[in-house]
Structure 1
């Protein structure tokens, strides 16, 4: 019921994820990032605790196998989960349990990993990786290109209703946290439009948090 991609940008240090699902509010449960560490998605009968745990294990700098082992030790039901992981340092990977729902698949690239379940085609994650690697722009644009490629490849077996984009570079909070929590239309296209509107304002919101004395005005009624 979900397809997603986690990625890193070696040049900017940005890490991020993009996800879409037939389920409501998918990004609220499944998407996780941490500046200087990596990006993680926990999906398919999801356990929201696994994303933060994966980031904590990435932060320790252990071997790739240690990441898998740590997650298995923490959740005896890992066989029902699918984890898509992109550490800033280390190997992108997808962990898919043997009870993954429906037609499922996974693919990895140099700087990204994609996975999904209840898919229209098992090749969909590879299409996402190919689109991410071929796209121009920054990490958010490339993640959105991968998500759209998944839609173009058939998406899920059923209709998509929610989508999310989560990313950060050097702030302790996600500088980009955009969600379409429910739509009967085209949530992936709506998410791309939301990013188009948010992108010009992103740096101003960061400045208001870090250096409010130098931050730009809000440009709304009543703002001096």
Structure 2
């Protein structure tokens, strides 16, 4: 038992790691034990809270996305526009996942909460662009003028939103003090996701709007 304790202690101080990966590695060491009949090992504490939170998150994330879809349809009444705006979410997802990978951070509950906030911010930028595109289209502008003029005019508010969020979360990305293990994944997801969402939204979304302009006409 002493040897097992020393192995687990070595695992914990070998390098910084999240609790889920630590428990996975520690479980492999525990499996080597020949426990008497009637004895078993159960992981509790923070690990149990993590598993419970992940189950709740698996319900909340799809529910949040579904509510966003319902509100988008209520605002635009156009399936093509709703789908186009909702594409901003996977655009943000790309940056969030890559930023976690680059910084070597695991997916955690705080990262999941960051993705929920990120989806809202990125979709809001899509709403800003498409709303103005629709206004220009109603004014009789040509398709090319709609996307060109609309993107240039809405470039400033989109960038202001992105930069405000990025600079607000940036100190948390490099946080090493108390609570840093919670702040860093959340902030990393938001900063990386906003960067990719802003760039792709300003390029991909106007291009797709122009390509499917016949389906984008407001009803």
Please tell me the TM-score bracket, short chain as reference.
Answer: under 0.3
* Higher RCO, 1 vs 2 (CA within 8 Å, ≥6 residues apart): 2
- Asked which structure has the greater CA Rg, the reply is 2
TM-score by length of 1: 0.27
| Richer in strand (by share) | 1
TM-score by length of 2: 0.27
